[in-house]
Amino acid sequence: TVALGDVFASLASDFTTIAAQKGLKFKVRPTKAHVRTDPLLLRRILQNLISNAVRYTRSGGVILGARTRRDGVVDIQVSDTGIGIPEAEHQSVFEEFRRGEGIGRAEPTGLGLGLAIVRRMSAALGHEIGFASKVDKGTTFRLTLPLVEIDPETLARPERPRLATMGLNETRV
């Protein structure tokens, strides 16, 4: 189980300065959701999506947020106010070494591997990924993963170390 808020917080510290250096806002919406996933791979996926969002946005910013759906899943969304992806490229952006036609001069570096890796990591985790985009308006990538229902009581009352009940003190470092 992964507390999504913790993942979001670490991404905020990774990207706030990077975005600010380009004059962009990076906004992270608070979330209390817990999800069933691998925390490291999830971070890698979101790092790729957010770095793309920052890279392909000239003004405005990027928003990271999560929405809990009624069917027991969470949609994580990375939205930007960037250059967008032309419809003709929608089918191919997840392919290896595929870069947008229109981005060459503005963003000369990049191999076109980020989204190919993102797709593989999402598939390995069993998470669905998709996006919607409009040229000159922006892009939203969405990753859908299973929600873990956590009893709020359990959260509020952190588990007492077992040792204490045996009369032993626990050493914490």
Binding site for ligand ATP (CB under 6 A): 52-53, 56, 80, 82-85, 93, 98-100, 103, 110-116, 139
Please choose which of Mg ion, ligand ATP, none residue 3 contacts, taking the beta carbon within 5 to 8 angstroms, the exact cut-off set by kind.
none
| Cβ-Cβ contacts under 8 Å for 104 (sequence gap 6 or more) | none
**CA separation for the pair 48, 57 (Å, rounded):** 14
In the complex, minimum distance from the CB of residue 50 to ligand ATP, in angstroms, rounded to a whole number:
9
Task: List the single partner that 132 binds among ligand ATP, Mg ion, none, CB under 5 to 8 Å by kind.
Answer: none
In the complex, minimum distance from the CB of residue 127 to ligand ATP, in angstroms, rounded to a whole number: 17
Contact residues for Mg ion, defined by CB under 5 A: 52, 114
What six digits make up the tokens of 88?
A: 């003709």
Closer residue to ligand ATP, CB minimum distance, 55 or 127: 55
Q: What distance in Å separates the CA atoms of residue 13 and residue 3, rounded to the nearest whole number?
A: 16
- For residue 170, the minimal CB distance to Mg ion (Å) is 44
Q: Are the beta carbons of 99 and 33 closer than 8 angstroms?
A: no
Q: How far is it, in rounded angstroms, from Cα 57 to Cα 87?
A: 17
**Could you tell me the smallest distance in angstroms from the CB atom of residue 36 to ligand ATP?**
26
Residue 131, strand partner residues: 141
Q: How many residues does the chain have?
A: 173
The residue nearest ligand ATP at its CB is: 100
Q: With respect to ligand ATP, which residue has the nearer C-beta, 31 or 84?
A: 84
Residue closer to ligand ATP by CB (options 85, 125) is 85
Residue 111 or residue 168: which is nearer to ligand ATP going by CB?
Answer: 111
Nearest Cα to Cα of residue 51 among 29, 33, 26: 26
Q: Are strands 34-35 and 73-80 parallel, antiparallel or unpaired?
A: unpaired
Nearer to Mg ion, 84 or 114 (CB): 114
